[in-house]
Amino acid sequence: MDAELLLAAVLDVPRARLLTLDDVPDDAADRFGVLLEQRADRVPLQHLTGRAPFRHLELAVGPGVFVPRPETEQLVGWALDQLAGIADPVVVDLGAGSGAIALSLAHEHPRARVTAVERDAGAIEWTRHNAAARAAAGDRPVEVLAGDMTDPELLRDLEGTVDLVVSNPPYVPDGARVPREVADHDPPLALWGGPDGLDVVRRLLVTAARLLRPGGGLGIEHADAQGSALPALVRAHGDFIDVADHPDLAGRPRFTTARRA
């Protein structure tokens, strides 16, 4: 699959078109060989093609930004369900990276007013790039804000008015073994979440509780081993009700949801 996608990228054709190609020009074969070697050396496929599919979008990615994962697509599906029936919902994505969540929400709910918050100076260049591309393609512009999701001053102007806070925060426990594609190529700030992986999440709950209006929705992705710990944390926080956990398509616990009391 990866080899086919790399060859399709080199030839600038859709993958399905490879079946009917009679020939691969020599220069393309050379470039393909170089990419295959890089992929064999565990450079992520998406860094080599420069693109990552996510729901209905294709986002630009590369060194310095977290590659969006298919597991996160369902969190966006849940978020869209929460927004159904709200005319002009106010949405905040905490830790936007490539903009996968924020830009998908803006694309699939054209009236949503979405703010994407990102702390990493390298990653936010990708957020801005993808946001500009989606706005140029006709989606409602997403506001990209350089900021820390744990900052008590973050988005003071939206306090108590937000319909939905959604986040795929860093949640990997410090020292956990991860594949080389992740360890060597995803930015550290996107991954590591302290001894139990939940350091950033604990503080993002404070921000979410402050921003959400009563009844507003909260959705947070987590590691498959955190399917009990994260719901327990949200319940213990005290400001949230209707706490639930949801599996991904592989049946592994993947995201926790709640509503602001």
Ligand X SMILES: C[S@@+](CC[C@H](N)C(=O)[O-])C[C@H]1O[C@@H](n2cnc3c(N)ncnc32)[C@H](O)[C@@H]1O
Active-site residue list: 66, 168-169
Binding of residue 226 to ligand X (CB under 6 A) = no
Stretch 6-65 residues interacting with ligand X (CB under 6 A): none
Q: Which of 106, 114, 123, 208 binds ligand X (CB under 6 A)?
A: 123
Residue 115 Cβ vs ligand X, minimum distance, rounded to whole Å: 12
Please say which residue, 2 or 71, places its beta carbon nearer to ligand X: 71
Residue 17 Cβ vs ligand X, minimum distance, rounded to whole Å: 28
Binding of residue 190 to ligand X (CB under 6 A) = yes
Binding of residue 113 to ligand X (CB under 6 A) = no
Only one of the segments 24-32, 66-74, 77-85, 243-251 lies at the binding site for ligand X (rule: CB under 6 A); that segment is 66-74
- Helix intervals (H) in the chain: 2-11, 26-40, 45-49, 73-83, 100-108, 123-136, 180-185, 188-191, 199-211, 229-237
Residue 138 Cβ vs ligand X, minimum distance, rounded to whole Å: 22
Among 206, 212, 228, smallest CA distance to 261 is for 212
Please say which residue, 90 or 144, places its beta carbon nearer to ligand X: 144
Binding of residue 172 to ligand X (CB under 6 A) = no
Q: Which of 35, 92, 106, 149 binds ligand X (CB under 6 A)?
A: 149
Binding of residue 169 to ligand X (CB under 6 A) = yes
Residue 255 Cβ vs ligand X, minimum distance, rounded to whole Å: 11
Size of the site for ligand X (CB under 6 A): 24
Q: Which of 62, 95, 219, 231 binds ligand X (CB under 6 A)?
A: 95
How far is Cα 224 from Cα 135, in angstroms, rounded to an integer?
34
Binding of residue 256 to ligand X (CB under 6 A) = no
Residue 199 Cβ vs ligand X, minimum distance, rounded to whole Å: 10
Hey, what long-range contacts does 65-69 have (CB within 8 A, 24 or more apart)? 65/97, 65/98, 65/122, 65/123, 65/125, 65/126, 65/127, 65/187, 65/190, 66/97, 66/98, 66/123, 66/186, 66/187, 66/190, 66/191, 67/98, 67/185, 67/186, 68/97, 68/98, 68/100
**Burial status of residue 162 (CB atoms within 10 A of its CB: 0-12, 13-18, 19 or more):** buried
DSSP string, 119-154: --TTHHHHHHHHHHHHHHTTPPPPEEEE--TT-TTT
For β-strands 212-221 and 253-260, DSSP reports them as antiparallel
Residue 1 Cβ vs ligand X, minimum distance, rounded to whole Å: 21
Binding of residue 150 to ligand X (CB under 6 A) = yes
Dihedral of the CA atoms 2, 38, 10, 136 (nearest 10)? 90
Please say which residue, 188 or 215, places its beta carbon nearer to ligand X: 188
Q: Which positions lie near ligand X, rule CB under 6 A?
A: 66, 68, 72, 95-98, 100-101, 117-120, 123, 148-150, 168-170, 187, 189-190, 200
